[in-house]
A and B are shown apart, each in its own frame.
Chain A
Amino acid sequence: IVRLSRRSVNAGQSVSRVAIRLLSSGSQQQQQQQEQQQQSRPPLHRDPELAQLLGRIASLDLAKLTPETRALLDRIVRVDHAGEFGADRIYAGQLAVLGGTPTGPLIRHMHEQEQDHLAAFEALIPALRARPTVLMPFWRVAGFALGAGTALIGKEAAMACTVAVEAEIQEHYNAQLRSLLADNPELHADLMRVIARFRDEEAEHHDTGLREDAESAPLIRLCPPPFELAVGLPSSCRSGSELIHNK
């Protein structure tokens, strides 16, 4: 389990390391030179559309932003990075248990999408000079434990966990979109596009989880409301069952 988790963390990190290696001088050069260089540099992300959006976000001149905008971007990138890292660990935990079962490929596909999201935010942290979260070791352990624990209960419980996580993440992304909209819609257009795209992919995961019998997970109605974690990782049973009851 340790080797598996290390490998997936390293895989995610190596994508981002290759992608952000040449970002250091981006902010100083002019737009034209930047575009020319970006054509010859390796892309910021393996997805070309994301690479283009991330490149434009990375080329923001941070000195011209107001302190409130800087603080907002810093907070958003940090929280999103932590959230995607937690989601990545949760799927890794689920895969450690359910990797060989028929749902393995599905979970693996969702895991890969989360790793894409994580790579995007890992590229944005140095680009926007944001501070990463202090709680990385905690998310690493807690996420993996949550994923593996629910997977050990059963496939339906793992799907219920997915549903709850994705519901929480969607709410989070929507709140961030609202705050970006309130701050400066034109300036944050690219970042909003990225977050909206990720939110839609999380919605897909959420619907996939529901399709895969999350509702029939054992004990789902008996779960006591656990305390909410600071970054918004799921209060799994509560929000999952709330969602199902409200549908």
Chain B
Amino acid sequence: MLASIAFRFSAGSRLCVACRLLSTSPCESQIRGQVLDEALARVPDLGWTRSCVEAGARTLDLPETMADLAAPRGGADLALYFIDSCNDKLEAQLKLRSSGLSSAGEISLELVGFACRERLSMIRPLLPYWPAGIATLTGSPSLALESAARLQRLADDICHYAGDRSTDLGWYARRLAVGAVYASTEAFMLQDVSEDLVNTWAFLDRRINKDLAAIRTARQVAGGAFDVAANMLGLARR
């Protein structure tokens, strides 16, 4: 049930952030984007709070009540906007990179690695403040569901542009695996103090080579459970 709600959210989160929340005209969503972009520049000073969004509105000579429209839930909406804008930028990059990709059910681990590295690099400017941003998203069950939906959308985009065309349980297995790789690497990055985050990139490479090797080809993923059952029933070819 939770999964179905999250998936329903993810279908909506694919749209521009503002259009989804406000169902407004492109003009209003553009203003919302500008306000929140300005607010993100002020996060180091004011944190993931409503006053940060108000400061962003003030910079654009807009009334502070714009903060209510742009971020009804305050810092949580600002954090969600940050995630969504990073996901949108990543999707645009992935579209360019994968235009020549053709696959027969295989996913390109290089593209997965590139996507994870790009997406994590987008957090780097706000890296010291991102743990507080994530904390705002744990405030309520609906926020937790929405952030899970963002992760699901990210994993779906990465798998799709890496060449996944599966239409069976492999679809779920791959997205779970890629989502887990990304989430664990992000968690690692938040506490990484190494120079230029070399430990994080090494962690990411290890995760991809170990965890994702099993889900690379469609035949392995889809046929796995079937093979187990067939073996148990004594109907296997071998």
- Cβ contacts under 8 Å, B230 to chain A: 2
A40 interface hit (Cβ, 8 Å): no
* Across-interface contacts of A16 in B (CB, < 8 A): 167
A28, A81, A129: the one contacting B156 at CB < 8 Å is A129
Chain B 201-238 residues near chain A, CB threshold 8 A = 225-226, 230, 233, 235, 237
Residue of A nearest to B166 (CB): A132
Minimum Cβ distance to chain A for residue B205 (Å): 25
**Could you say which of A6, A13, A24, A81 contacts B102, with CB atoms under 8 Å apart?**
A24
Q: A17-B165, A25-B98, A67-B15 are in contact. Are A131 and B104 (CB under 8 A)?
A: no
Q: B98 to A24, Cβ gap below 8 A?
A: yes
Cβ–Cβ contact B168 & A25, under 8 A: no
Given contacts A63-B15, A136-B169, contact A21 B102 (CB under 8 A): yes
Among A23, A66, A132, which residue has its beta carbon within 8 angstroms of that of B167? A132
Say whether chain B's binding surface is mostly helix, strand, loop, or mixed.
loop
Which residues of A sit under 8 angstroms from B128, Cβ to Cβ?
A: none
Q: Which residues of A contact B (CB under 8 A)?
A: 1-3, 6, 13, 16-17, 20-25, 27-29, 62-63, 66-67, 70-71, 74, 81, 121-122, 125-126, 129, 131-132, 134, 136-137, 140
Contact at B167–A122, with CB atoms within 8 Å?
yes
Contact A25 B100 (CB under 8 A): yes
A62 partner residues in chain B, CB cutoff 8 A: 14
Judge whether B169 and A137 touch: CB under 8 Å.
yes
For the complex, give the distance between the alpha carbons of A13 and B171 in Å.
14
**A–B pairs, 7, beta carbons within 8 Å:** A6-B226, A16-B167, A21-B103, A24-B99, A28-B96, A67-B12, A67-B20
Chain B residue at smallest Cβ distance from A73: B11
Write out the residue numbers on chain A whose beta carbons fall within 8 Å of the beta carbon of B95: 25, 27-28
Chain A residues near B172: list those with CB within 8 A.
134
Q: B interface vs A, CB < 8 Å? A: 7-8, 11-12, 14-15, 20, 95-96, 98-105, 156, 160-161, 163-169, 171-172, 225-226, 230, 233, 235, 237
B237 and A132 contact, CB distance less than 8 A: no
Which of B101, B104, B105, B237 touches A24 (beta carbons < 8 Å)?
B101
Q: In the bound complex, how far is the Cα of B233 from the Cα of A24, in angstroms?
A: 39
A-side contacts of B235, CB under 8 Å: 1-2
- With contacts A25-B99, A28-B95, A131-B171 taken as known, whether A20 is within 8 angstroms of B165 at the C-beta atoms is yes
